[in-house]
Structure 1
């Protein structure tokens, strides 16, 4: 155990038994030494902004809109930072994470519904991450490791990596930093190979407009927001900040922790934003305006040493080039040589492994908080992994091959968009309640801004969901009727959470709600 980590007495509801000790510095001023001690939770939080679902959204953005939607990616990260700030403050000030507070705040049945919704979001995110990892293993092995085997490998190595936590929180966080560095190096390599236009990239980042864009580009912009703002990440971040020893009896120490966590989150999301930009730029330069036939021809005309079966992945037609994680790797290999395919696969492997582990973490915190179940670590991992792995394994077995499975990304993004109110609304409710936040209660101006921004995200997500249902199932009487019924039930649950936010319901101790 590191000297900077201290053993805490075992408590039924304590998330961490070992916490990082923070130096006791004077009240005034900024200290790099203290900031360093607070660095870590933001890195783990930022993994959700770099998962395979986000990577696929990035490459699709570049392929359909070139550089024109990078400003949407930037705004999504800014909004994400504001929401993560609320989540981190909640964990620091209250000493509890969101799931624990929800258990105390809401009556039994609403909190069980909330828990189920959070678990669904985690499962959807996990499926994206595990599928991404399985695809990377398929690419690295030149097809020798089938998807279903990649899923099983991911299950086993998740157990291995999560037990790294036994060696200390800081070493565990350092491992995640290493995986992020692998992503930056891999996607940076592809960026250097593709040599995108820096002027167009900068214009797309600062000009909030999409000249010549249509419905496809608009829906892609909506998809970017949905991929970046992930519901389970708010629950996760509020728990991760509990890994530091903060004297909550001293107000200035709480204020100091809030400041350093915000700075750390800013730098973490700053890095994740630029890694995402690297991916957008590579495919904006290489795939924008290309057809399947164009890419297929490059597989045969360039001395790329690609295995023969990769050269026929793209069909010989004039349809816009297929864009997903698998086809992206094949495109890079055909264009820049087989080495570029392997580097891409390594980057996706790092993204998939890191996000799979944080997804397991989020599932652990949700189960411990909502239903107050405390299990040994191996049992926690087994339960949370099984919830996500079973549907993923079935999908990989019956999907009909790797070229079909990556199309699930839009569906899984839709599922997570639907769950978004069940993270944002409780977070806004808790940080607005003085019984939870004491003197750190969110001001009316901050609450209004966060609420308006959140409503905007929710409306965008509803539009995307409507468009996805219409595209996938058609606007038939049956699909409209089923969607309408489910929407009524869904809106009832959302309105309940809104009513709790508006009325600032009384904060109860956990014992008060038992038996309700």
Structure 2
């Protein structure tokens, strides 16, 4: 390819930040245009060669891109899209903040909704090239997305896993709870890294990276996982409402109340993202106080608690509970959610130091949030370990009857433990239901590129989940055992969906064409894939154990076998597709021109 000579005239010189990725250059070819010396004919020849390179590069990516994109790529006029990628520098090398008021692209947050971060208490900002010094004020402004993400670690499904692990295994699985939370932290930090470095969230990038049929399958899987999680969360809230109303309000009434107040709480976002985050902080504090009060009331053994956290111990009798502890930590919709939530802060993507600064603050915030979630989960596990471990009730306890068993064990008192449990459960159910609806908006908007008002997307997302939830509440209102069986099936549903969030995430964050210099290194990449494989194998064990005990009959077995074959084939496709796309891109001769900074 002809190498153009860069004009040294400062006025006309066009610079590109070194952290730009090949993916952005391929997708937006106009950023690689440079002013050349020589006559008009030479300049035109250079432009034609650049168009040919982009044309053949686009042909190799047709499996993952729409045909209409090809026409945009080779167009000689100004680009028809109005929403540039946040890492694409315009003429003056200053990247505009994401703004979609006039675009046909869906984004997580409008520019006016974002929390302003850039330039706080900093002098000579334009000359700042490295990572700015640590600032407590900046850290405070970055706090929020990580705590919303942490709510998925405290939803009713996780609380049920905690109480069952405590009742059946005692203190012996606390070490596994700690390491499972660490695994969850790793996955969520990767999701945040993807959102911050690219300015796009996981659903948007899946829409652009995978062919239509594959991304539609991914979207359906994400929606199914979200609906399953939502049923558990809403039912958890409904159980709490039933307890607090002394049984006056049945489950279905609690479901309707939860569905309605979810919209009311989401309305807080109209007054600013920080208001909604403050509301979630109140709910998390409510859970912490409620379960800490229960911890103090039941007085678990401190020595056994420390031994349970520090000394790994696993019995064949507690394998199922151990698998459940690990399996319920990673929620597919939470990966999509966190990659979008981090875009609620204003970040100057033209400066590598600013992007790294955001990643540092988000890492601190997410770590603190998940430490708090671990402590809350530890409270719940140890309370039920103290109360029911080694008793006849241990194997029969579940989310529905947990409050009743606690009341029978510890009585009423000045403030009955039954109501303390219900308040904590209500806070967990309400907060996770709202974040689930929030995640549904990002998933639907990202995969389908829907340019709808947020309230309309919330209505659509809420409707998809509330109808099956009401049916569940009506059918299982009087049958606690049947509701526990349903929860087991919903846990299986969540486990099935995990690879369809993990594999695309790991593929995207490890590719330089997408992440630029913020791609994960070989060590972190290896660790991440090993962790993902471990989680998938553990959940596979759970699925195998569940289906071997539940599936019977030739027809049902045949259906499950066919589904399993298609399921494994799609997982293999996702892994191989990532390597295929990467190999094609490495063959492209499109590199940053020498002499451009």
- Fold equivalence (TM over 0.5): yes
Distance apart, 1:290 and its partner CA? 1.4
Q: Which of 399, 413, 435 matches 1:325?
A: 399
Q: Which of 328, 334, 339 matches 2:408?
A: 334
Q: Which moved more, 1:431-440 or 1:397-406?
A: 397-406
Distance apart, 1:7 and its partner CA? 11
Alignment of 1:50 onto 2:154: yes
Q: Deviations over 1:80-110 (max 9, x none)?
A: 1111111001000100000000111111000
Distance apart, 1:243 and its partner CA? 0.1
Q: Which has the larger radius of gyration?
A: 2
Which residue matches 2:179? 75
Distance apart, 1:34 and its partner CA? 1.1
Which residue matches 1:22? 117
Alignment of 1:64 onto 2:179: no
Distance apart, 1:143 and its partner CA? 0.8
Alignment of 1:473 onto 2:551: yes
- CA distance 1:373–1:8, change in 2 (3 Å): closer
Following the alignment from structure 2 to structure 1, what is the Cα–Cα distance between the partners of residues 282 and 189? Answer: 24
Which residue matches 1:238? 339
Q: Deviations over 1:242-269 (max 9, x none)?
A: 0000000000000111111111100000
Following the alignment from structure 1 to structure 2, what is the Cα–Cα distance between the partners of residues 192 and 84? Answer: 31
Q: Which has the larger helix fraction?
A: 1
Alignment of 1:451 onto 2:525: no
Distance apart, 1:377 and its partner CA? 2.4
Which residue matches 1:176? 280
Q: Which of 174, 190, 202 matches 2:306?
A: 202
Following the alignment from structure 1 to structure 2, what is the Cα–Cα distance between the partners of residues 321 and 433? Answer: 46
Distance apart, 1:445 and its partner CA? 1.6
Say whether the 8 Å CA contact 1:91–1:241 is kept in structure 2.
yes
The correspondence of residues 343-492 of structure 1 with structure 2, limited to 5 A, is: 343-399=420-476, 401-403=478-480, 404-474=482-552, 476-492=553-569
Alignment of 1:107 onto 2:211: yes
Say whether the 8 Å CA contact 2:177–2:325 is kept in structure 1.
yes
Secondary structure of the residue aligned to 2:328 is helix
Following the alignment from structure 2 to structure 1, what is the Cα–Cα distance between the partners of residues 290 and 400? Answer: 16
Alignment of 1:147 onto 2:258: no
Distance apart, 1:402 and its partner CA? 5.0
Distance apart, 1:477 and its partner CA? 4.1
Structure 2: give runs of 5+ residues left out of the alignment.
1-96, 123-127, 586-597
Structure 1: give runs of 5+ residues left out of the alignment.
1-5, 293-319, 508-516
Secondary structure of the residue aligned to 2:396 is coil
Following the alignment from structure 1 to structure 2, what is the Cα–Cα distance between the partners of residues 223 and 232? Answer: 18
Q: Deviations over 1:333-382 (max 9, x none)?
A: 22223411011001000000000000001110011000111222222111
Which residue matches 2:235? 131
Q: Which moved more, 1:146-155 or 1:497-506?
A: 497-506
Which residue matches 2:316? 214
Which residue matches 1:258? 359
Say whether the 8 Å CA contact 1:433–1:504 is kept in structure 2.
no
Following the alignment from structure 1 to structure 2, what is the Cα–Cα distance between the partners of residues 144 and 400? Answer: 13
Following the alignment from structure 1 to structure 2, what is the Cα–Cα distance between the partners of residues 140 and 469? Answer: 36
Q: Which moved more, 1:227-236 or 1:9-18?
A: 9-18
- CA distance 1:428–1:283, change in 2 (3 Å): same
Distance apart, 1:207 and its partner CA? 1.1
Which residue matches 1:501? 578
Say whether the 8 Å CA contact 2:499–2:571 is kept in structure 1.
yes
Which residue matches 1:291? 392
Q: Deviations over 1:50-109 (max 9, x none)?
A: 000000000000001000011111111101111111100100010000000011111100
- CA distance 1:406–1:164, change in 2 (3 Å): farther
Distance apart, 1:479 and its partner CA? 4.1
Following the alignment from structure 1 to structure 2, what is the Cα–Cα distance between the partners of residues 13 and 131? Answer: 31
Secondary structure of the residue aligned to 1:14 is coil
Following the alignment from structure 1 to structure 2, what is the Cα–Cα distance between the partners of residues 458 and 256? Answer: 32
Secondary structure of the residue aligned to 2:402 is helix
TM-score, L = length of structure 1? 0.89
Which residue matches 2:190? 86
Which residue matches 2:380? 279
Following the alignment from structure 2 to structure 1, what is the Cα–Cα distance between the partners of residues 367 and 313? Answer: 25
Distance apart, 1:482 and its partner CA? 2.4
Which residue matches 1:224? 325
Following the alignment from structure 1 to structure 2, what is the Cα–Cα distance between the partners of residues 409 and 269? Answer: 24
Distance apart, 1:478 and its partner CA? 4.1
